[in-house]
Amino acid sequence: MKIAFACDPLSGFNLKKDSTYAMMREASARGHALYAFGHADMIVRDGRVLAKASRIELTGEAGAWYRVEETAQQSLDEFDVVVERTDPPFDMEYVYATHLLELAETQGARVVNRPAAIRNHNEKLAITGFTQFTAPTLVSSDAVHLRAFHTEHRDIILKPLDGMGGMGIFRVRDDAMNLGAIIETLTDDGRRTIMAQRYIPEIASGDKRVLLIAGQVVPYCLARVPQAGEVRGNLAAGGTGIAMPLSAREREIAEVLAPVLQARGLMLVGLDVIGAHLTEINVTSPTCFQEIMQQTGCDVAAMFIDALERGEY
């Protein structure tokens, strides 16, 4: 297969943690041809979507871990599959990229995850379609509603809808300390919609990342445990990753969502679960492949490449 990865610059990869690298390594070991390009490398010329894609070979070395064999403009339908792995922020440039990838699909390209599905599933808002699994949640830009939500629940989390890695997340306890300032800052004085959720104390045991691949549930999750004094378990915010088998509740949530999200064009999904509650549905570039593999032996990258080889996208 010719597999193209739409991803961030290869020079910035952390080989010990990067899930895209794990995918590439597994695909290369199976003899598949690897290509890489960024969103900015895509153009539309005479109605066709092309990308300046580099054919790469993995060297197996820690430093110069890849070698560029050739770089050329190619129509995206020339690849067997394009794997979208660009990290947020999900800004307008990201949105434009999904439109180009969607146009490429009409020309025969096969893209994972489907670009329209990525665009239509905001990673925070997507949980509102599965309220049987969520803690009390409010989405609003109105300070009156946000204050009332705090009055009702007394201990809440406030966060932007377009953040990643724990960015912009605040906890406001019963004393409401700085509630007004936090609301003003996050909503830009009412001009930006945010999310409020009842605080879930089980965060102390970790924010669990549960992976879904082609409608199947990966049997292990990664509990991202906050460091002392933090409410964010994100690894980017200093959390510690501990791999463990899924609990009965985590499996229940995952098995309900897996076929629904697969049918919507989302082959690879990372659910965030705290305690008994679903908190986010990650669809842009879900991670934690390597941490789970290193700690449990469960080869998540192999499961992903297996699905690509079966054409389950």
Cα(31)–Cα(18) distance, rounded to whole angstroms? Answer: 20
Q: Which residues contact 65 (CB under 8 A, 6 or more apart)?
A: 13, 15, 21, 58, 59
Provide DSSP, 107-164: TT--EES-HHHHHH--TTGGGGG-GGGS-SEEEES-HHHHHHHHHHHSSEEEEESS--
Phi and psi, residue 71, nearest 5°: -130, 130
Please answer whether residues 169 and 199 qualify as being in contact, where contact means their C-beta atoms are separated by less than 8 angstroms. no
Q: What residues have CB less than 8 Å from 151, skipping those under 6 apart?
A: none
Catalytic positions: 124, 159, 209, 224, 232, 272, 280, 282
